[in-house]
Amino acid sequence: MHSVLGQRSVKENSYLLDDEYRILMQTLCQASAKTKDGFYPKYFFQHTALNIISLLCFNKRTDSVDDPFYREFENLMGTRFELAKVTNGSSEFFPILEWFPNTKFHNAMIESADNTEAFLGKLVKEVIDDKDKKPCIIREFLLKKDEGILDDLDVIYLADTIFGAGTDTISASLTWLTAALANNPHVQSKAHQELDRVIGQSRMPEVSDEQNIPYIRAIIKEGQRYCGAIYLGVPHAIDEDDEYNGYHIPANSVVILNQYGIHMDEKRYENPKEFKPERFLGFTGSSAALANGNYENRDHFGFGAGRRLCTGIHMAERELLLGVSRLLWCFKIENASPLGKDGKPIPINLDKIRNGLTVWPEDYKVRFVKRHDNVEKVLSGQS
């Protein structure tokens, strides 16, 4: 997994990320032209994230959120992530509950696994049947299968891990951050000033601009802290008895990183309930670099911690940089909620969440207003 998602492979595929985030901005321009009432952007972000993973794994992409392939994927992932939420695993925490099996949940898990195997199995077969043998992640896994290292089901579930881990995390992060930006126009103004000063209006931001746009970098880090896609990390079990801070942790205990708890800890982050990118202005390193140093100096814990740190961290950071810098370069994001008594749109309520393995804000509406006349020309490559 590390070789297919590592830094080198991500660099080699950077053209693909670049293309998909340009197309996303074009799609948002088109969608915005159709309505003045605003819309919930989740499906656009999810479509982009899916296209990226699907191109990397299977050389396959779709043009629209209405495409049946995208719809089937969205259904499958929605069900799987809903089933995988921590509260559905209550017997992991209270073993006595194993005496009262939850047959409905158990059957739903089996049905969901069967559907996923069928969906991804079909895609793996398309790679096997591809006469041109175009390179992709699945082809690399199939080589490992030929060497006897993986079997058919391993290939399908490795693809499942990449799809599951690499799509909803990105799209939920962008969906949260868009809402936070709509609630905080003063943050957008600062970002716009930085982008106008450093990038100008005749080209879009690129990954290579990262070091020169510290405020955008800080917005991304604050987004992961203040409203990241994961509240409770992936459950892990420990092999042997352990001691931590005077607590005895018996072997086989389930251990979960309470990311939300850390991110809202006042000792670590002053006024943690405030969306304040400035707190990260002094953090020049990438989250990947900081995750490999002393935990006291980490920016945030959105990508997990320790040996099971997100394998896709390099790709995720590139995607967030392209997504956030280009959203802000192209648009002013306006809250399109109904007006409150003060005549201003009611702020989007970020405390209301939809819970799953990834968490989402409740549906909201925003308008993406083009910032200048050059946006569409640059997006279509005419500038």
Q: Which of residues 78-117 bind ligand HEM (CB under 6 A)?
A: none
Binding pattern for the stretch 169-208 against ligand HEM, x by CB under 6 A and - elsewhere: xx--x-----------------------------------
Q: Are 256 and 232 in contact (CB under 8 A)?
A: yes
Residue choice 291, 316, 348, 366 for contact with ligand HEM (CB under 6 A): 316
Q: Is the dihedral of CA 41, 183, 334, 190 positive or negative?
A: negative
Whole-angstrom Cα distance, residue 64 to residue 148?
38
Q: Are 332 and 345 in contact (CB under 8 A)?
A: no
Q: Which residue type does 153 have?
A: L
SS3 content of the chain, % helix, strand, coil (to 5): 60, 10, 35
Polymer length of the chain: 383
227 labeled binding residue:
no
Work out how close the CB of 365 gets to ligand HEM at its nearest, in angstroms, rounded to a whole number. 23
Using the minimum distance from each CB to ligand HEM, give the nearer residue, 73 or 345.
73
| 291 binding ligand HEM? (CB under 6 A) | no
| 234 binding ligand HEM? (CB under 6 A) | yes
Residue least distant from ligand HEM (Cβ): 312
Q: Quote the DSSP letter at residue 98.
A: G
Work out how close the CB of 301 gets to ligand HEM at its nearest, in angstroms, rounded to a whole number. 8
Structural tokens at position 14:
């950077």
Work out how close the CB of 253 gets to ligand HEM at its nearest, in angstroms, rounded to a whole number. 15
Count interface residues toward ligand HEM (CB under 6 A): 26
Residue choice 38, 277, 312, 356 for contact with ligand HEM (CB under 6 A): 312
> How far is CA 325 from each of CA 171, 192, 276, 379, rounded to the nearest angstrom?
15, 9, 17, 14
Residue choice 30, 161, 284, 292 for contact with ligand HEM (CB under 6 A): 161
Whole-angstrom Cα distance, residue 329 to residue 197?
11
> By the criterion CB under 6 A, which residues form the site for ligand HEM?
1, 5, 53, 161-162, 165-166, 169-170, 173, 228-230, 233-234, 257, 302-304, 308, 310-312, 315-316, 320
